């Protein structure tokens, strides 16, 4: 229990600490408010439950780096518990009354929890400090070529040291203080085994020394909290509060890749995309404060993994350090991420998917692209051909619309004019309709539909590009025109269901066309194949194609199928239905590694690096031991075949539809 003088001094220290803490919090609120948009509070109430669950379970953390995640859990869960424990210690210091300590079984359990958590936090923080400062894995930093705020290169470790020092001082101080208290009582407490063990060291120590020690440890323990509070708004420890806020305030989206609607019919819009920090949305500014600086997003980024300049982690860290060092919201984003890094992004969504605090660096990058492409006309010149093709011939391959049905010659594929009320509208997509290799996928799928007797139709010459590549390249104007035309046509057709052989088409029609008034049920062709097999409408046998017989196959999950839209099982079930033995690559399902073509990368050369994304992925497929690589996306098909040719290997690359069609009875 504190003396009167100590109580007065402590109260004064708290007031001073809270004043300076509030100044930091006030600055954060001002920065967040400078961002565009406002939270939809109806959405917040719906998401609050999930945010609370994430806060208490740390579930997103455990998807990656298991051992560090467990250590992080020890610290995090301990921190949550200590909110109550510290309150109890403070009440005791001022009143002499111990919260819960002497209330039967509840008091016993409380003391046991406090004892266990105290030690768990110490174990966790010491282990994490050893990892960061002694083991020093490369995954906790970034390459020298990455644009990272110079203050951050030193500051991240300094911040980690301050936070680790504070946690160690706070918890070791409490442990020692409680051990003095137990020693004063003269007997061990079986519900506090660690504290009681430590208390034995003070056997024979006089009461005055033990009381003095208890007071000193209070000031070291609770005093450390008071001293740390003003630093808290500047530290990465801030993620403890901003992580649940981030989850709750994020706008509701149909997919991690769904982009915000830009109404180009609104003549009042003067700014497209993000040129400076304040052009970002409020939630994108919150991202910088929620960032844990763990570099997990960087570790899964295909661009960074192949030696490119892009690091999604560096972007978020640069945003934070900009705020922490007075950079303000008018700072150009070009000073926080290089233009070359911006164009290296494949929009695969891996950074968004893996982030344990819900950050979305991919969204920042695509907003920056919008500004570069729409306001500055600053985009890779290789895009010009694809842009011209989408503007003039409604497809990036620049193939005339009149030739859009040539792939179906001799296959009896009905158009919407021939079958105006189909059960299934097949959105063929630009690649399967115009690219020679992808046409084989379309032809195989047509054989499956015909064999099953499906009542379907295609739009034929009326079908246009969905605009996915234009949008990911920042050309919102091209996307807007294509989307408006396609939605108008689809709303006239009124399809019961739409099936696509391209995940990019699936994603755009399903998740982004609703903003244009187009709401449809959209499925992937592997999902429809499974339906047909399950309904007994198609029977499969040994492959007629001898080159595909008896092969083990590994499936490469397209980013826009698995990670963006959650279609994981359907392709695998389809392969197994076809009698194929499947093996998995280490990075699969939602954690799949990109093929390198997304984010409009299909239409330009990769930025310089240590390797190519598609070659890295193909090498992983070979290492799986499979004899064949299956895909479910025309972009992936092209990229994996290019990698196969570069590798000069006999490993075949086939779309799932091709493998199933080869086994039709």
Residues 456/427, Cβ–Cβ less than 8 Å: no
Residue 600 lies in a domain: yes
Q: What is the pLDDT of residue 72?
A: 92
Per DSSP, what are the bridge partners of residue 415?
Answer: 458
Residues 661/635, Cβ–Cβ less than 8 Å: no
Beta-sheet strands, E only, within 391-447: 424-427
Question: Tokens representing 10?
Answer: 């402590």
| Residue-by-residue DSSP string for 621-659 | HHHTT-SEEEES-HHHHHHHHHHHHHHT---EEEEHHHH
Domain-ending residue, one of 211, 234, 257: 234
Q: Check whether residue 477 and residue 583 sit in a common domain.
A: yes
CA distances from 641 to 104, 309, 438 (A): 70, 26, 11
Give the torsion through C-alpha atoms of 318, 323, 327, 332, to 10 deg. Answer: 50
Residue 59 lies in a domain: no
Strand order in the sheet with 522-524: 456-458, 424-427, 498-500, 522-524
Q: Check whether residue 75 and residue 197 sit in a common domain.
A: yes
Residue 445 lies in a domain: yes
Residue 277 lies in a domain: yes
Pairwise CA distance, residues 553 & 335, whole Å: 45
Give the torsion through C-alpha atoms of 467, 469, 473, 479, to 10 deg. Answer: 0
- HEC per residue, 313-376: HHHHHHHHHHHHCCCCCCCEHHHCCCHHHHHHCCCCCHHHHHCCCCCCHHHHHHHHHHHHHHHC
Q: Check whether residue 369 and residue 405 sit in a common domain.
A: no
**Which bin fits 295, alpha (ψ -120 to 50), beta or left (φ > 0)?**
left
Task: Determine how β-strand 552-555 pairs with β-strand 456-458.
Answer: unpaired
CA distances from 215 to 358, 399, 578 (A): 41, 81, 73
The H or E element spanning position 92 is helix 66-95
Residues 633/502, Cβ–Cβ less than 8 Å: yes
Pairwise CA distance, residues 324 & 487, whole Å: 45
What's the total number of domains in the chain? 3
HSE, CB side, 13 Å, CA atoms: give it for residue 250. 23
Q: Check whether residue 295 and residue 441 sit in a common domain.
A: no
Q: Helices (H) and strands (E) in the chain — how many of each?
A: 26, 8
Q: What is the pLDDT of residue 106?
A: 86
Q: Check whether residue 443 and residue 581 sit in a common domain.
A: yes
Domain-ending residue, one of 375, 405, 426: 375
Q: Output Rg (C-alpha) for the chain, integer angstroms.
A: 29
Task: Determine how β-strand 424-427 pairs with β-strand 522-524.
Answer: unpaired
Residue 123 lies in a domain: yes
CA distances from 430 to 123, 135, 185 (A): 56, 50, 80
Pairwise CA distance, residues 575 & 471, whole Å: 32
In terms of residue numbers, what domain contains 435? Answer: 383-661
Residue 42 lies in a domain: no
Q: Which residues of the chain have pLDDT under 70?
A: 100-103, 542-550
Q: Which residues contact 271 (CB under 8 A, 6 or more apart)?
A: 279, 371, 375
Q: Check whether residue 490 and residue 596 sit in a common domain.
A: yes
Percent with pLDDT over 90 in the chain: 85
Percent with pLDDT over 70 in the chain: 98
Q: Check whether residue 295 and residue 351 sit in a common domain.
A: yes
Q: Check whether residue 546 and residue 412 sit in a common domain.
A: yes
Residue 258 DSSP code: P
Tell me the CA end-to-end span of the chain in Å, nearest whole number: 85
Residues 101/107, Cβ–Cβ less than 8 Å: yes
The H or E element spanning position 498 is strand 498-500
Per DSSP, what are the bridge partners of residue 652?
Answer: 628
Domain-ending residue, one of 234, 263, 280: 234
Q: Check whether residue 316 and residue 353 sit in a common domain.
A: yes
Q: What is the pLDDT of residue 201?
A: 93
Q: How many CB atoms lie within 10 A of CB 210?
A: 19
Q: What is the pLDDT of residue 545?
A: 56
| Residue-by-residue DSSP string for 139-180 | GGS--TTS---HHHHHHHHHHHHHHHHHHHHHHHHHHHHHHH
Residue 52 lies in a domain: no
Q: How many CB atoms lie within 10 A of CB 159?
A: 18
Q: What is the CATH number of the domain that holds 364?
A: 1.10.1060.10
Residue 54 lies in a domain: no
CA distances from 438 to 180, 188, 346, 637 (A): 75, 75, 20, 7
Q: What is the pLDDT of residue 71?
A: 93
Residue from 64, 660, 649, 658 nearest 351 by CA: 64
Q: What is the pLDDT of residue 127?
A: 97
How far is residue 343 CA from its own chain's centroid?
Answer: 19
Q: Which residues contact 444 (CB under 8 A, 6 or more apart)?
A: 655, 657, 658, 660, 661, 662
Q: Which residues contact 21 (CB under 8 A, 6 or more apart)?
A: 229, 230, 232, 233
Q: Check whether residue 407 and residue 341 sit in a common domain.
A: no
Pairwise CA distance, residues 227 & 21, whole Å: 10
User: In this predicted model, what pLDDT tens digit does every residue of 423-456 receive, in sequence order?
Assistant: 999 999 999 999 999 999 999 999 999 999 999 9
Question: Tokens representing 641?
Answer: 């075949």
Q: What is the pLDDT of residue 47?
A: 86
Q: Check whether residue 507 and residue 653 sit in a common domain.
A: yes
Q: What is the pLDDT of residue 46?
A: 87
Q: Check whether residue 209 and residue 297 sit in a common domain.
A: no
Residues 534/570, Cβ–Cβ less than 8 Å: no
Q: Which residues contact 181 (CB under 8 A, 6 or more apart)?
A: 214
């Amino acid at each position: 229990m504190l003396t009167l003088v100590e109580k007065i001094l402590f109260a004064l220290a708290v007031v001073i600490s809270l004043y300076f803490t509030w100044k930091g919090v006030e600055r954060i609120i001002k920065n967040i408010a400078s961002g565009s948009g406002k939270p939809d509070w109806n959405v917040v109430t719906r998401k609050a439950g999930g945010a609370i669950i994430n806060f208490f379970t740390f579930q997103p953390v455990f998807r990656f780096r298991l051992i560090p995640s467990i250590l992080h859990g020890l610290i995090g869960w301990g921190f949550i518990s200590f909110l109550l424990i510290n309150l109890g210690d403070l009440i005791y210091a001022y009143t002499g009354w111990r919260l819960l300590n002497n209330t039967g079984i509840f008091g016993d359990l409380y003391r046991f929890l406090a004892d266990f958590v105290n030690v768990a936090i110490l174990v966790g923080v010491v282990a994490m400090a050893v990892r960061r400062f002694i083991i020093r894995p490369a995954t906790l930093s970034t390459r020298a070529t990455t644009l990272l705020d110079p203050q951050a290169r030193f500051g991240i470790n300094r911040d980690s040291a301050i936070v680790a020092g504070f946690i160690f001082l706070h918890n070791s101080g409490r442990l020692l203080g409680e051990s003095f208290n137990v020693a004063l009582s003269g007997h061990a407490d079986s519900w506090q085994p660690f504290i009681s063990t430590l208390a034995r060291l003070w056997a024979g120590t006089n009461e005055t020394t033990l009381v003095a020690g208890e007071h000193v440890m209070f000031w070291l323990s609770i005093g450390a909290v008071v001293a740390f509070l003003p630093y808290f708004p500047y530290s990465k420890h801030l993620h403890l509060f901003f992580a649940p806020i981030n989850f709750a305030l994020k706008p509701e989206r149909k997919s991690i890749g769904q982009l915000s609607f830009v109404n180009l019919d609104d003549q009042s819009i003067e700014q497209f995309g993000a040129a400076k920090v304040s052009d970002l949305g409020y939630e994108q500014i919150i991202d910088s404060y929620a960032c844990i600086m763990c570099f997990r997003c960087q570790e899964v980024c295909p661009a960074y993994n192949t030696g490119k300049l892009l690091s999604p982690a560096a972007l978020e860290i640069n945003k934070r350090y900009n705020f922490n060092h007075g950079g303000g919201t008018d700072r150009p984003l070009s000073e926080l991420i290089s233009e070359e890094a911006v164009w290296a992004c494949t929009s695969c969504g891996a950074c968004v998917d893996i982030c344990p605090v819900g950050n979305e660096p991919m969204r920042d990058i695509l907003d920056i692209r919008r500004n570069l492409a729409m306001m500055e006309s600053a985009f890779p010149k290789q895009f010009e051909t694809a842009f011209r093709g989408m503007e003039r011939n409604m497809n990036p391959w620049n193939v005339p619309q009149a030739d859009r049905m040539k792939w179906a010659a001799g296959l009896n594929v009905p158009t919407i004019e021939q079958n105006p009320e189909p059960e299934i509208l097949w959105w063929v997509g630009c690649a399967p309709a115009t690219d020679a290799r992808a046409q084989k996928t379309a032809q195989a799928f047509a054989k499956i539909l015909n064999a099953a007797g499906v009542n379907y139709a295609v739009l034929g010459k009326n079908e246009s590009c969905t605009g996915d590549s234009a949008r990911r390249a920042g050309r919102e104007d091209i996307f807007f025109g294509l989307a408006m035309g396609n939605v108008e046509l689809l709303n006239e057709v009124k399809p019961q269901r739409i099936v696509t052989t391209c995940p990019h088409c699936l994603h755009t029609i399903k998740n982004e066309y609703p903003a244009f008034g187009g709401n449809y049920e959209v499925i992937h062709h592997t999902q429809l194949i499974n339906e047909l097999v399950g309904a007994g409408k198609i029977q499969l046998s040994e492959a007629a194609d001898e080159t595909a017989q008896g092969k083990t196959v590994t499936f490469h999950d397209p980013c826009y199928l698995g990670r963006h839209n959650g279609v994981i099982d359907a392709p695998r079930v389809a392969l197994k239905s076809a009698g194929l033995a499947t093996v998995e690559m280490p990075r699969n399902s939602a954690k799949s590694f990109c093929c390198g073509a997304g984010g409009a990368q299909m239409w330009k050369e990769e930025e310089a690096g240590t390797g190519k994304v598609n070659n890295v992925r193909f090498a992983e497929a070979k290492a799986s031991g499979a004899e064949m690589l299956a895909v479910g996306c025309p972009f992936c098909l092209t990229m994996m075949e290019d990698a196969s040719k570069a590798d000069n290997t006999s490993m075949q690359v086939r779309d799932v539809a091709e493998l199933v069609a080869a086994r039709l009875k």
